Structure 1
Amino acid sequence: MRSTVPAGTATGDTRHVTEPALPTTVCATVPAARTMPTRATDQGSETTPPDTIRIQHALDTCAQTGQQTVAVRLQATDSGHNAFLTGPLAVHRGEVLLLDSGVTLYGSRNPADYQISGKPRCGTLASSGGGCKPLISVAGANAGIEAVRAADGSQGRIDGRGDQTVLGTTTSWWQLATDAQKAGSNQNNPRLIQADDSDNFTLYHVDLLSSPNFHVVYNGGNGFTAWGVRIKTPAGARNTDGIDPAGATNVTITDSFIMDGDDGIAIKGGNRSSSNITVTNNHFYGTHGISIGSETTSGVTNVLFRDNTLTGTDALGTTSGSSTGIRIKSSPANGGRVTGVTYLNTCLDAVRAPLVFDTHYSGGSGPNAPWFTGITVDGVTATHSPSGAKSTLVGLDRTRPLELTLQHVNLDVTTATAANARITATDTNLHPSGPDVTLTTTNGPGAAPTCTFPAFPAL
């Protein structure tokens, strides 16, 4: 990996981000009262999760009005109790939900716990979604969800149990999502964590497992750090995005391992623009890529992806049917300007779609034209690409072409679909051609990265 950043590179997060530190002030400690070795418990507890009131009372009591951040600690006990079972929780301004190493917070399987009044029934298919609260909602500045990492690498975890049956049915949350796709409908499943307008929000050393829907959505805030996060959900679990900054600015996602059944990262600019985002030194397994879109109506600018690896197979050995590497996707249904995006040193293994720049995503139509400009891909190596692997480099039309720089790109499969693109290529074996494609080749120093792919950590 290179030690210097080329001139003209996107700069990403404007903050000087260093590794977070756990809060030094513990406002309240909630001791675990159970074990759940099979990730399930008795029917009465499943129907009325027993720890919701205890944890929420501590969070409400410790809510801060000042700048000092305090923790509500979920603690394992000397008697070996290490599990909590809860419905939706709200984390307030100035507080951190802190999990001991070895503690697991399990999400309720009762859809009634998540129901949003006036919305489609949670746990069902409907013509629209949005019927479920997230398991954990965060609002207000200087909040966090963090865990203690032990010397052996274990850390606290949150388990959404998306693989288990929705209470009162014979269908899991994940099966519900698959059924929705087959029916052309929408599943009403809860997200794991959603932070709204929460400036200076931190995720640190926490494991997130088996979310019924998206794992993390950071919506509308200024200042988000995800460091040492490990997400483990199978590649076949539909609509289980890893971390999605939306309408966000000054974001850093780093030193994390992400495995899920949709985008590993999806940066969105729908109702509000997203800008100044850094995604660095992360490892992805079986995902649909490090992505921008599809919502880009309000714009996405100044995004730096650096030193990331992506493999097309998850840690369970499941090969993703839609594995993707670098990806910007939108359409006239929800498009806008995406500009000033740099990908440095990206390593791909067994990925079906190495590079995707798609302005016609899902065939969407409407008045919101997507336009991708100032996109630089500098340093990509792809190995073990499956049969049929293909890249996509397609601008919207002649007046809004894809403007792309390719440097030091070495793909083992160079098949590509291209149209409406202005491409400058340096030291690359990808030379796309197609309708209204202009390719300019230059010479310059540098080389494609030499790659290693770390195994997903044992959780």
Structure 2
Amino acid sequence: MQHKGTTADAPQRHRRGKFTGARIALSAALAAATAGGVIAYANASTTTSSVPALATGDSRNVSEPHVPATVCRTLAAGLTMAGRRSGSTQEGAAPDTTRIQQALDACKQSGSGQVAVKLVASGSHAAFLTGPLTVPQGVVLLIDSPVTLYGSLKAADYQISSKPTCGTVATASGGCKPLITVSGANTGIEGVRAANGTQGRVDGRGDLPLYGTATTWWDLATQSKNNGGIQNNPRMIQAVKSDNFTLYDIDLVNAPNFHVSYQNATGFTAWGVRIKTPASARNTDGIDPSGATDVTIADSYIMDGDDGIAIKGGSAASKNITIKNSHFYGTHGISIGSETAAGVSNILVTGDTVTGTDANGTASGSSVGLRIKSSGVNGGPVTQVTYTGTCITQVRMPLVFDTHYATGSGSTPTFTGIVVNGVRATSSVSGAKNVISGYDAAHPIGLTLLNVSLDTNTVTAEYAGIGLSNSTLKPTGTGVTTSSVTGSGTVPTCTFPAFPAL
């Protein structure tokens, strides 16, 4: 990664800095505590004190990305998409799929080279309409402002052969290709941010009726919940085995399913990403790193109808992940799990805010602040997770560390070395509570709570060894032991920025 260095970029840095300044006022003492790592806590499985290793997160030296210097192909928009729709002919056969894919393929790189395929406006035309695309090695799909890349509403465009029918509720999943598949290293999906704050956009149109029907992608998700079955909806972006992938200054809105899934790869940076999908849209996770190493998610705004972030360690471990200076609206929180069988470790979450309602004022159906979730079905070791300077408001469950997220057996979830240093929760909803639930007496949660100020201290707790310092939350329950610890830092002073206008 390289720092921006041109004079023309200075106003952009100033605009981003303005948002950063509104986020959280962290004390020097808290910053020192995070950097120094001198926090004593009670080990859950012994009677002696120990000093946990604080998480350091991403092992890379990550700075703000920049768009590629070389543009390999430039494509001009030919649509206006009034009301985010085109005419029947265009909706029946997305006109831009082939030309965008041909440009991407023509620009494929070998080695570590990187170039851009740039989508630009042409007069009053600022829209592209496409079916599924694949971004190959060394190519960045670069979307100029105010251009929008719209996903096709024709379910058949996404169909995977011999799989359940895309655009239906079925007994199995896997019927749909993603809107954008990322294949190969050194790739990206990036936008150009204008002086007025607008930036390139991808719109999955999850709220609009599918071609030839009266049913939306989100309707299918609701039907699957109410009537059983599994919705077959496309993810917006899926990157698998794609090292060094970047999302930068890009708006991702109205995804039919997950917005971003990053799987089994090393080196992922999401910076200046703005995800905006209503809290009522089911299964629309924001960003999900799975089997991922060296990840930074920074300076981003995430609003969706499921987990804001869900770090998973199912078939492969996830480790060295930083989530910083980002803001979450109407989501199910900043999550780890529920798949942790292969392990999750060295996760640093710092300087973030979580608001339980979305930008439209709609409350999340499962509003959580910080959450680690797993179970005997898909559990494994979660260790060395550090949360600092977190501000939470209007949620139902500020803190959740739950090894019984689902019923079943076969594997054992263990949460150890979990440190929360500096969290404030305000305006919690009626009936709000916290959960600290270890697996059993032989596998208690190892948790440290320092500088914790919650406006709801109701907690369901079992099987945990908890170190406490300056914490309003003092859990008790079966198999719960607590001890006083010595640590530095303060409770953060909080402000909650509004979701930016897109």
The letter of the residue matching 1:18 is S
Other-structure match for 2:400? 356
**1:431-450 equivalent positions in 2, closer than 5 A:** 431-450=474-493
Does 1:204 find its partner at 2:232? no
Other-structure match for 1:59? 104
Q: Does structure 2 conserve the Cα–Cα contact (< 8 Å) formed by 1:329 and 1:359?
A: yes
Q: Does structure 2 conserve the Cα–Cα contact (< 8 Å) formed by 1:231 and 1:260?
A: yes
Q: Does structure 1 conserve the Cα–Cα contact (< 8 Å) formed by 2:268 and 2:296?
A: yes
2:278 pairs with one of 234, 239, 243: 234
Report the Cα offset of residue 366 of structure 1: 2.1
The letter of the residue matching 2:177 is K
Counterpart CA distance in 2 for 1:323 and 1:402 is: 22
Give the SS at the match of 2:332: coil
Other-structure match for 1:10? 55
Other-structure match for 2:337? 293
Counterpart CA distance in 1 for 2:68 and 2:485 is: 51
1:244 pairs with one of 273, 288, 296: 288
Other-structure match for 2:222? 178
Counterpart CA distance in 2 for 1:27 and 1:125 is: 41
2:448 pairs with one of 405, 410, 413: 405
**CA 1:65–1:456: 2 relative to 1, 3 Å:** same
CA deviation digits over 1:267-301, x for unaligned, max 9?
00001000000000000000000000011010001
Report the Cα offset of residue 3 of structure 1: 3.1
Report the Cα offset of residue 68 of structure 1: 1.4
Report the Cα offset of residue 348 of structure 1: 0.3
Give the SS at the match of 2:351: strand
Counterpart CA distance in 2 for 1:187 and 1:359 is: 27
Report the Cα offset of residue 184 of structure 1: 2.4
Report the Cα offset of residue 183 of structure 1: 1.8
The letter of the residue matching 2:491 is A
The letter of the residue matching 1:3 is A
Give the SS at the match of 1:284: strand
Other-structure match for 2:118? 73
CA deviation digits over 1:16-64, x for unaligned, max 9?
0011011010000111001113001111111110000010010011111
The letter of the residue matching 1:346 is T
CA deviation digits over 1:138-177, x for unaligned, max 9?
0111000001001111000000000011222211111110
**CA 1:444–1:374: 2 relative to 1, 3 Å:** closer
Q: What TM-score, normalized by structure 1, do the two folds share?
A: 0.98
Counterpart CA distance in 2 for 1:331 and 1:416 is: 19
Q: Does structure 2 conserve the Cα–Cα contact (< 8 Å) formed by 1:142 and 1:198?
A: yes
Other-structure match for 1:414? 457
Counterpart CA distance in 2 for 1:114 and 1:332 is: 34
Does 1:254 find its partner at 2:298? yes
Other-structure match for 1:327? 371
Report the Cα offset of residue 443 of structure 1: 4.5
The letter of the residue matching 1:264 is G
**1:184-199 equivalent positions in 2, closer than 5 A:** 184-199=228-243
Does 1:150 find its partner at 2:194? yes
Counterpart CA distance in 2 for 1:57 and 1:444 is: 57
Q: Does structure 1 conserve the Cα–Cα contact (< 8 Å) formed by 2:31 and 2:489?
A: no
Give the SS at the match of 2:494: coil
Structure with the larger RCO, 1 or 2 (CA within 8 Å, 6+ apart)? 2
The letter of the residue matching 2:359 is A
Q: Does structure 2 conserve the Cα–Cα contact (< 8 Å) formed by 1:312 and 1:349?
A: yes
**1:75-114 equivalent positions in 2, closer than 5 A:** 75-77=120-122, 79-114=123-158
Aligned length: 457
Counterpart CA distance in 2 for 1:167 and 1:398 is: 54
Q: Does structure 1 conserve the Cα–Cα contact (< 8 Å) formed by 2:421 and 2:489?
A: no
Percent pairwise identity? 61
CA deviation digits over 1:346-398, x for unaligned, max 9?
0001111100011111x331211111111111110000001110110001001
Does 1:24 find its partner at 2:52? no
Give the SS at the match of 1:38: helix
Q: Does structure 2 conserve the Cα–Cα contact (< 8 Å) formed by 1:13 and 1:250?
A: yes
Other-structure match for 1:47? 92
Counterpart CA distance in 2 for 1:23 and 1:446 is: 40
Does 1:373 find its partner at 2:416? yes
Counterpart CA distance in 2 for 1:95 and 1:83 is: 21
Does 1:341 find its partner at 2:369? no
Q: Post-superposition, which runs of at least 4 consecutive aligned residues in structure 1 deviate over 2 A?
A: 441-446
The letter of the residue matching 1:59 is L
Counterpart CA distance in 1 for 2:415 and 2:170 is: 34
Give the SS at the match of 2:342: coil
Give the SS at the match of 1:221: strand
Give the SS at the match of 1:53: helix
Question: C-alpha root-mean-square deviation of aligned residues, in Å?
Answer: 0.9
Give the SS at the match of 1:355: strand
The letter of the residue matching 1:47 is G
Q: Does structure 2 conserve the Cα–Cα contact (< 8 Å) formed by 1:203 and 1:229?
A: yes
Q: Does structure 2 conserve the Cα–Cα contact (< 8 Å) formed by 1:427 and 1:444?
A: no
The letter of the residue matching 1:336 is G
Q: Does structure 2 conserve the Cα–Cα contact (< 8 Å) formed by 1:427 and 1:443?
A: no
Q: Does structure 1 conserve the Cα–Cα contact (< 8 Å) formed by 2:140 and 2:189?
A: yes
CA deviation digits over 1:61-103, x for unaligned, max 9?
11111321000000111x2110000000000000000000100
